[in-house]
Structure 1
Amino acid sequence: LYFARIDYQDRAKRRNEKHLEVVWRGSRSLHSTSQIFTSAFPTHYSPPDGFQFEVNDDSIPVQDDPLLFDNNVQKRVSDFVAAAVAQANVTRANHVMWTMGDDFKYQYADSWFKQMDKLIHYVNLDGRVNALYSTPSIYTDAKYATMDSWPVKTDDFFPYADAANAYWTGYFTSRPSFKGYIRVMSGYYLAARQLEFLMGRSGSISGTETLADALAIAQHHDGVSGTEKQHVAADYTKRLHMGYVEAEKVVASSVASLSSKHGKSLTNFQQCPLLNVSYCPASENILLNGKSLVVVVYNPLGWKREEVIQIPVLVDKVIVRDFNGNEVESQLLPVTNASLTVRSYHVRAYLGKNTDDTIRYWLAFSVSVPPLGFSTYVVSALQSGGRSTISSTSTVFGNTDQTLEIGQGNLKLLFSSNGGKLTQYINKRNSVNTVAEQSYIYYSGFSGEEGDSQASGAYILRPNGTFQIKAEEEAPLTVMKGPLLDEFHQQLTSWIHQITRIYKSKEHAEVEFMVGPIPIDDGIGKEIVTQITTTMKTNGTFYTDSNGRDFLRRIRDYRQDWDLEINQPIAGNYYPLNLGIYMEDGNTELSVLVDRAVGGSSIKDGQIEIMLHRRLVHDDSRGVGEALNETVCIHNDCKGLMVKGKFF
């Protein structure tokens, strides 16, 4: 494994100690069985200075015509040898690799190969070093053949900085909606492939290939990372949507066939890709017309799942039955004004039409689905008789002195009506009763205009101050309770809405957030963070996942391989979260799982923070060439992008 981007302090130490090449054991569970020979380049993934041969580069070409007065073969050979020896002096053994190229190079490949051919020829005639066209595998074999010993590395290379105030930790969260879309589409793709396999292809071309290609393209290092230009992000998203449309046909036809008695069905199953904005015509209109709605729930995992699902409905008298006709416990939760506002705006923005009917409820009901299988449920509107339980609802406004509680099973959460902050976490089964608080802050983005040109941008996280986001006075707090789940709704500000949800049969809390449009009218970019604060004594230690497979120990303001010089105490302690983050103190553990890739840390003992959204007004000079300022537009009226997501 060969790469260039390691921390500038780490690289300097490794160059001095000839430790640029290591045996990397990145998994603490797999140990040496997953080790790999790894090398960081001495400077960058480009040739040494003076050996860039793009048509507009200023490197001196090899002039080997004897009739020319500026014949420079010996000079260029000596330059080549000196550069090779310089690299050999910071690496081990007698082999060095030059990566001939860089970003945006080889627009005219002939200029490169013409010069490389000459250099290889004349350097080998000189005889001091041997030069050849090679590959990483040939180079690795040559290194292995030396039978040299190599240092062992057991942690990873995060976080990375290329200068004192330039930590590449902002991109862990950049474009969080796009990151979430990729996560959802990845799961959908796997389910669609399974269903396609079960039913067989209808032709020679798979109906999921378009989505597979779009997902593969989105894995580009300037794709899912969120470090692309806005028009490129839009192109990625369009390709994913086109892939979804094709895969949706596969899913609909497969489910229809699987759920029919004779393998063929005329049922037209519809899906709801805009459920994140509370829009699902299939579940809304059918019940309104007095018809029954058939809901098929598919489980692509290898174990049985018992969950609670929710769909929007317009009626308040419904009943849910399983395939055998047995009534299934269900609950109606009133739709909030915040959800209706999001629905109305985004349906206009994405579909170009107004929503004629206003949904009234979310219908929640329990489902039990076998592994790699499906279950069928029928939702019917009733005029009278038994029906779903409508949640009891109570609303209070700020600046009162009450304790609000949700949770009917082992898990309970207590909130203060004064600001709506979480105050206490109780788990009766584990005998845990502890103080816990959740809050929101934002980091103002450094502008790069205050005597230091490094701004906060798509790549770089560089806070220029920490500010609490306090709940607006008289902000409503709503508690909804029912037989399946309890919800606590908070409208912290006009642009932050949160639902804390506890299911009766679960022992974890689900937090659903809507953040945006982030206000930038003051000309200041902002990075929105939620913090969970406890009384745990964590001694600067926390754990983050490694690509969702292992968890690695992190120690604040510390690096295992070198003595860290601290320049950015926030950005320099941020890590990527693909699965989650946790901390422990010997008695208690707090874990937070995420629904998409984001950045997170523990800046203070006993506290976990997750960056949920970023909106910035300056470019960070790392190649994007524009500010990270995502918007949604209706005609020419554009607002900052809203992000909706969950953590657990």
Structure 2
Amino acid sequence: MKSYRNILLVVFLTLPLLYQAFPLEESVKEVTCGYKACHKTIPGMINVHMIPHSHDDVGWLKTVDQYYYGSKQSVQRAGVQYIIDTVLRELQENPDRRFIYVETAFLWKWWLDHDEVKQQQLIDLINSGQLEIVGGAWSMNDEAATHYQSIIDQFTWGLRKLNDTFGACGRPHVGWQIDPFGHSREMASLFSQFGYDGLFFARADYQDLNNRFATKTTQMIWQGSVNLGTASRLFTVAFNGSYSPPSGFCFDINCNDEPIIDDINSPDYNVDSRVAEFTAYIENLASHLQTEHVLVTMGDDFNYQDAAQWFVNLDKLKKYVNAKQEEGGRLNLLYSTPGCYLKALNEANITWTVKEDDFFPYASDEHSYWTGYFVSRTTSKYFERQANNFLQICKQLFVLANVEEAYENHLNNLREAMGVMQHHDAITGTAKQNVFEDYSRLIYEGIQHCGNITERALSKLSSSDLPFVSCLLRNVSQCEPSENSKTFMVTVYNPLSHEVSYYVRLPVLGTAYSVRDASGNELKVQMATIPDPVRNLPERNSNATTEIVFLANNIQPLGFHSYYITELNSTDDTRRNELESSDTSIGNDVLQAMFNESTGLLQSVMFNNEEITLHQNFRYYEGWAGNNSQPSLRASGAYIFRPYGTSVQVSPVVETKFYKGELVEEVHQEFTDWISQVIRVYKDTNHIEFEWLVGPIPVDDDIGKEIITHITTDLVNNETFYTDSNGREMLKRVINFRPTWDLEVNEPISGNYYPITSKIVIEDASKDLRLAILNDRAQGGSSLRNGEIEIMVHRRLLNDDAKGVGEALDDEAFGKGRIARGKHYLVVGPTTGSGNLSLAAQERLLAQEKLLSPWVFVTPLNISFDEWTSYTTEFSGVFQNVPENIHILTLEPWKNNTVLLRLEHILENNEDPILSNATVVNLEELFTTFVIKSVHESTLAANQWLGEYGRLNWIDTSGVGMDSWEVPNDIPNITLKPMQIRTFIVEVTR
């Protein structure tokens, strides 16, 4: 290894050797894109920036392919291929016209579907600035249920396709998040780190928008991060709640509005009335803005399938409104883009207010809080999280094992499926049932494709030709190779940047097993009873009644350990659980959970001999069954959470069985025939695991139900709690309060629900106590009363909420309501923590371990232990542990013999006295399987070099401007500050 490091000292260069990673400027025709392509505005006039656009959902009422090809027109009249075709034709007709496009998934599908002539037409229009790419990710992602790692990945992939195909003119300058149902602060931070100049969106709380229109603050500076300074600020434009055209001015084939008829001899001539109507609308809108620039969205869902119908009328509207200038008219209509609108606002040289919180929850009226989708289709949310886990492993192993380039299409398959899944009607659970079946197909096929890569990589790294099988049904205690093999190998891969220990649980048919590592050491084994409700799941195809449990200890970072497992011929009672029916507690040396002997419910937790009152039970809300004819009759549905009354306890008494062994202690609880739970404490952990099983939710009483896990403590948190923003920075939440306006409370439950992507926290300063619940998928929840936390885990509803999907959220599988199984992790104790880490730091590390959990591969064997030891059974992809507060966020194959590498600091300022400090990492000492020749730092999305672009500067009302992103000169010993992510294109040799 020392020789590698000496080589690195010589060849470690930061010269721009990797410019081939980004395409050169185009030489075809003159390039006049970007701000150079903007039409001139007229000072002193109301400049009306018309933005022709189409909002193309990557699946919603139809599947991705059905939307692209235009099939199933009876469901929705929509065909994306026709949109792009006809827009290109109409832009070529008139160079004055403009159009924007957003979803790279559809644009790339069109690109592959057309010949070089059509492709060149698209390139020319992008180079001329007539067609501006905005957003640029694979899909327009949701901002509540998405994790920042998946957001970054899908932007990286979409922007790479644009960069490779169109060069600099294809790089977006602005975010275009017009349809997501609420907006996260972390998303603003990510856009700023992508190098974008601004963000546009339509949906914000109706009270918030009313206040902003009254105070002329719909355009603002958004502070994206409290940790990263003013460089993370993003200029933000909020529309009037809609991305549709003004009422009466939709000229699409899907609309019924009158065209502009300018034949003065026609009895239907309407120019004067249409101009007057449009002028009145614009003047009213302009009165609520700070500048003389007004943005008007001219488009809607799947508009421009016959683009001529739009552009002919927009040409006329522009012509006749501008003609009024000769008569003293104040309006100047121009074709524009979001980028050009930003440029005009920036050149106004005025100051702007600063937004520091987020835009959750979103309400469209007094009874329509869009907080139900935080939980809708909870099993899909879990599947997406598992797919992200596997995608990171797939990418890492591709690089570490130097998998052949021919396999890259397998990787792209899961990359693109995950990009689709971030869409704001996919991860949200707000598409039709058949569309979700297609989303699941895409994810499943993507995982299978990546399985080819992991199997090839592990075969190379282990010097074997063995199969490495992923058991995707371990969540229901089903795994064919562990159940049907007398001898098998378990390989545990650790995708994290530090050493971890992991409890492996696999269903088996035998009663006793031996587990050995390559040195012949026998590991402790516990046979754990599979709960009866799990064994009886209708989708489960397994006869296993027990799981083998063992600790895979000290798995190296980006590495694996393999274990040789053999079923024993005779039953060894020391390896079996004993039923301890008289016990009322479970735990380990530092953490115990105590249960009420009469009710079977959790009643307290003991941490380091300090007892904390803590009750846990399941409750449900009845879903409001309105007909949606008016706000007061709004139904609870896929989007909307609207409970009818307060929550109802599922059961005051539960059946319990206690199991204890050398590795884990657990209690099995049955609340009803459709809710059960396992609460467990492993021997050397500082958290309690709750594994819940909910469903089928009964609706025989014609009442939809929304199920919550409910925790009650004696902590006094003063109606204040904290939730994460996309798994990253924490935000303070206060019941019945919004930081930027006086809230009128109409829905006190759903109006206080917030997205929980990774955790929710309450604190009691007087007791110096902190309690956090971490989850395994995106959910929603709150702390409605002192000392309480509730998290919604599953929903089944019988009414549509009239927000577009047209179906009740009556999710079914196997002819019954869908069953969901998932986990929560409870961490409690003094805020200062124990040992060397604060509790917040412990939570950060635990969240990392649950997000990117070690992955278990199972291999049936027919060889002896001695033969097995000839293979490589231990591997580490890095030389040593990365510091605890640093994580290798991305390691993936890039192009031209390069690797994409991201490192992140996972703590915020002041979360820990030590780990919240800036930390240095030596890149030359990271990886074991390749040598780094050169490194060049890029923006977060890896589509342009850091420092080689200039963002627009915006000044706030106190006179503070925006810092540029620092371009450190510190390679190879890079410094990472709290919450900082740094991205590198790395040239390597093997």
Q: Which bin holds the TM-score, normalised by the shorter protein?
A: over 0.9
1:518-548 deviation digits (Å, cap 9, x = unpaired): 0000000000001111111111100011111
**Secondary structure of 1:121 counterpart:** helix
Corresponding residue for residue 433 of structure 1: 611
Distance 2:794 2:731 in 1: 24
Q: What is the 5 A alignment of 1:242-321?
A: 242-260=445-463, 265-287=464-486, 292-321=487-516
Distance 1:196 1:111 in 2: 49
Is 1:203 aligned to 2:406, yes or no?
yes
Moved more, 384-393 or 82-91: 384-393
**Secondary structure of 2:822 counterpart:** strand
Alpha carbons of structure 1 residues 306 and 269: separation in structure 2 relative to 1, 3 Å: same
Distance 1:360 1:572 in 2: 43
Contact preservation (8 Å) 1:84, 1:96:
yes
User: Which residues of structure 2 form unaligned runs of 5+?
Assistant: 1-198, 826-990
Corresponding residue for residue 624 of structure 2: 446
1:82 Cα deviation from its structure 2 partner: 2.2
- Could you tell me which of 476, 495, 498 is aligned with 2:674? 495
Corresponding residue for residue 296 of structure 2: 98
1:485 Cα deviation from its structure 2 partner: 1.2
**Secondary structure of 2:398 counterpart:** helix
Is 1:624 aligned to 2:828, yes or no?
no
Contact preservation (8 Å) 1:312, 1:361:
yes
The amino acid that maps onto 1:378 is: Y
Distance 2:507 2:540 in 1: 15
Moved more, 481-490 or 66-75: 66-75
Contact preservation (8 Å) 2:261, 2:269:
yes
Scaled by the length of structure 2, the TM-score of the pair is 0.61
Distance 2:548 2:533 in 1: 14
Distance 1:251 1:82 in 2: 62
Corresponding residue for residue 644 of structure 2: 464
1:548-574 deviation digits (Å, cap 9, x = unpaired): 111100000011111111110000000
1:449 Cα deviation from its structure 2 partner: 4.8
**Secondary structure of 1:406 counterpart:** strand
Alpha carbons of structure 1 residues 485 and 204: separation in structure 2 relative to 1, 3 Å: closer
1:458 Cα deviation from its structure 2 partner: 0.3
**Secondary structure of 1:24 counterpart:** strand
Contact preservation (8 Å) 2:511, 2:571:
no
- Could you tell me which of 660, 664, 671 is aligned with 1:481? 660
Contact preservation (8 Å) 2:262, 2:270:
yes
**Secondary structure of 2:410 counterpart:** coil
1:13 Cα deviation from its structure 2 partner: 0.9
**Secondary structure of 1:375 counterpart:** strand
1:64-109 deviation digits (Å, cap 9, x = unpaired): 2233243333332333322222111111111111111122433432
Contact preservation (8 Å) 1:301, 1:371:
yes
**Secondary structure of 1:266 counterpart:** coil
**Secondary structure of 2:431 counterpart:** coil
Corresponding residue for residue 422 of structure 1: 602
Scaled by the length of structure 1, the TM-score of the pair is 0.92
**Secondary structure of 1:101 counterpart:** strand
The amino acid that maps onto 1:123 is: V
- Could you tell me which of 660, 665, 690 is aligned with 1:511? 690
Alpha carbons of structure 1 residues 380 and 154: separation in structure 2 relative to 1, 3 Å: same
Corresponding residue for residue 609 of structure 1: 790
1:108-158 deviation digits (Å, cap 9, x = unpaired): 322111111111222233223221111111111111111111111111011
**Secondary structure of 2:333 counterpart:** coil
Corresponding residue for residue 124 of structure 2: none
Corresponding residue for residue 63 of structure 1: 261
- Could you tell me which of 582, 592, 607 is aligned with 2:773? 592
Alpha carbons of structure 1 residues 491 and 364: separation in structure 2 relative to 1, 3 Å: farther
1:285 Cα deviation from its structure 2 partner: 1.2
Contact preservation (8 Å) 1:310, 1:365:
no
Corresponding residue for residue 389 of structure 1: 575
**Secondary structure of 2:751 counterpart:** helix
Distance 1:165 1:609 in 2: 21
Distance 1:646 1:187 in 2: 16
Corresponding residue for residue 166 of structure 1: 368
Corresponding residue for residue 224 of structure 1: 427
Alpha carbons of structure 1 residues 496 and 362: separation in structure 2 relative to 1, 3 Å: farther
Is 1:322 aligned to 2:502, yes or no?
no
The amino acid that maps onto 2:616 is: Q
1:311 Cα deviation from its structure 2 partner: 0.8
Distance 1:294 1:43 in 2: 56
- Could you tell me which of 703, 722, 735 is aligned with 1:556? 735
Is 1:364 aligned to 2:550, yes or no?
yes
Distance 2:762 2:228 in 1: 22
- Could you tell me which of 220, 226, 236 is aligned with 2:439? 236
Alpha carbons of structure 1 residues 147 and 329: separation in structure 2 relative to 1, 3 Å: same
Distance 2:352 2:573 in 1: 69
Distance 1:101 1:390 in 2: 65
1:472 Cα deviation from its structure 2 partner: 7.4
1:432 Cα deviation from its structure 2 partner: 3.5
Alpha carbons of structure 1 residues 468 and 240: separation in structure 2 relative to 1, 3 Å: same
Corresponding residue for residue 230 of structure 2: 32
**Secondary structure of 1:465 counterpart:** coil
Contact preservation (8 Å) 2:593, 2:604:
yes
**Secondary structure of 1:532 counterpart:** strand
Is 1:346 aligned to 2:518, yes or no?
no
The amino acid that maps onto 1:600 is: G
Q: How many residues matched? A: 618
Moved more, 503-512 or 60-69: 60-69
The amino acid that maps onto 1:230 is: Q
Corresponding residue for residue 399 of structure 1: none
Distance 1:247 1:39 in 2: 39
Kindly report the root-mean-square deviation, in angstroms, between the aligned alpha carbons of the 2 structures. Answer: 1.9
Corresponding residue for residue 250 of structure 2: 52
Contact preservation (8 Å) 2:204, 2:241:
no
Distance 1:544 1:56 in 2: 41
Corresponding residue for residue 345 of structure 2: 143
Alpha carbons of structure 1 residues 347 and 421: separation in structure 2 relative to 1, 3 Å: closer
**Secondary structure of 1:157 counterpart:** coil
1:391 Cα deviation from its structure 2 partner: 2.1
Contact preservation (8 Å) 1:444, 1:525:
yes
Distance 1:77 1:646 in 2: 59
1:509 Cα deviation from its structure 2 partner: 0.6
1:385 Cα deviation from its structure 2 partner: 9.7
Corresponding residue for residue 215 of structure 1: 418
Distance 1:298 1:57 in 2: 54
1:201 Cα deviation from its structure 2 partner: 2.4
Distance 1:201 1:525 in 2: 51
Distance 1:40 1:247 in 2: 40
Alpha carbons of structure 1 residues 286 and 58: separation in structure 2 relative to 1, 3 Å: closer
Corresponding residue for residue 335 of structure 1: 530
Alpha carbons of structure 1 residues 385 and 50: separation in structure 2 relative to 1, 3 Å: closer
Distance 2:534 2:810 in 1: 23
Corresponding residue for residue 286 of structure 2: 88
1:420 Cα deviation from its structure 2 partner: 1.6
Contact preservation (8 Å) 1:329, 1:366:
no
Distance 1:221 1:449 in 2: 25
- Residue identity over aligned pairs, in percent, reads 41
Corresponding residue for residue 6 of structure 1: 204
Corresponding residue for residue 351 of structure 1: none
Corresponding residue for residue 324 of structure 2: 126
Contact preservation (8 Å) 1:309, 1:367:
no
**Secondary structure of 1:59 counterpart:** coil
Moved more, 190-199 or 9-18: 190-199
**Secondary structure of 1:493 counterpart:** coil
Contact preservation (8 Å) 1:334, 1:362:
no
Contact preservation (8 Å) 1:515, 1:613:
yes
Distance 2:416 2:574 in 1: 43
Distance 2:682 2:482 in 1: 22
**Secondary structure of 1:252 counterpart:** helix
**Secondary structure of 2:373 counterpart:** coil
